[in-house]
């Protein structure tokens, strides 16, 4: 019985680096955003008894980073694969409490098989939002940034 339960915890890792490049400049100088994002490793762990998670290793303009995120509800796609919105590979915020704030973020969409196998990065996007009073408003996107696969 113990072996059958252990078989349900699946962990898969993808090793090939996939790089994306930002081809536009930011419309503001108040925040920064990496120009090149390379996803170097994606490890997906699907566990029905604990939190499932994605661990992504990547570089931002050559600086190595690793981030872990829980997987709650993968998005089932028409092609039979599942998508995971992987938030905040990078986040830079300028501003203060209850004041004007500018926020630059880079996010990725990861796709995988139902079991977590064959995980890969499908797209990388950036956004810059501005809030006039971050205590009382949600902010407005002032620039949407596409990263192209290189």
Q: Are 97 and 135 in contact (CB under 8 A)?
A: yes
Query: What is the separation of C-alpha 25 from the centre of its chain, rounded to a whole number of angstroms?
Result: 21
Rounded-to-integer distance, Cα 51 and Cα 64, Å = 25
Maximum distance among all Cα pairs of the chain, rounded to whole angstroms:
59
Strand partners, 110: 84, 121
Rounded-to-integer distance, Cα 121 and Cα 72, Å = 18
Block residue for tokens 């992504």: 56
What mean pLDDT is predicted for residues 118-142? 90
pLDDT in tens, 115-124: 889 999 999 9
Pick the more confident residue, 78 or 73.
78
Residue 139's pLDDT band, with cuts at 50, 70 and 90, is confident
What local confidence, expressed as pLDDT, does residue 12 receive? 55
């Amino acid at each position: 019985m113990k072996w059958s339960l252990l078989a349900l915890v699946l962990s898969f890792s993808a090793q090939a680096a996939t790089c994306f490049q930002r081809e536009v400049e930011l419309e503001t100088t108040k925040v920064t955003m990496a120009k090149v994002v390379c996803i170097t490793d994606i490890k997906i762990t699907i566990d029905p008894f604990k939190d499932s998670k994605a661990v992504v290793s990547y570089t931002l303009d050559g600086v190595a980073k690793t981030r872990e995120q829980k997987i709650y509800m993968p998005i089932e796609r028409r092609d039979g694969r599942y998508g995971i919105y992987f938030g905040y590979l990078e986040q830079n915020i300028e501003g203060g409490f209850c004041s004007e704030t500018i926020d630059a973020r880079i996010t990725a969409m990861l796709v995988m098989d139902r079991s977590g196998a064959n995980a890969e990065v499908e797209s990388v996007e950036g956004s810059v939002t501005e809030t006039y009073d971050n205590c009382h408003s949600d902010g407005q996107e002032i620039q949407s940034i596409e990263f192209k696969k290189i």
